[in-house]
Amino acid sequence: MARWDGEWTKGLHTKADKESRLRELQGYKEGAFRELDTILESLLKKPANRNYSEAGWANQQIATNEWNAAIDRVRTLINPKE
């Protein structure tokens, strides 16, 4: 079974509750989460700023990197390691 991020079971106290949540997530993995991952990658990831002559390009690239890091974190949550 996939190793889901602990964020998914945060606040659940019993082993049964945690196992129930993990089974639920496993069901989402093959359907909704796969589609969500595609959407996140194709629609929300931003390309690098390669216009070095533009004033403030470095700040724009930092913002892009931070944005993409947040998108990658969400993608990690919905794509657990096997």
Note the pLDDT tens digit of each residue in 38-72: 988 888 889 888 888 989 999 999 999 999 999 99
Quick one: pLDDT at residue 1? 56
Helix (H) or strand (E) holding 19: helix 15-29
More confident residue, 48 or 16: 16
For a pLDDT cut of 70, what percent of the chain falls above it? 96
Contact 4, 22 (CB under 8 A): yes
Distance CA 27, CA 33 (A): 9
Sign of CA dihedral 22, 23, 26, 31: negative
Whole-prediction pTM: 0.75
pLDDT band at 11 (very low <50, low <70, confident <90, very high): very high
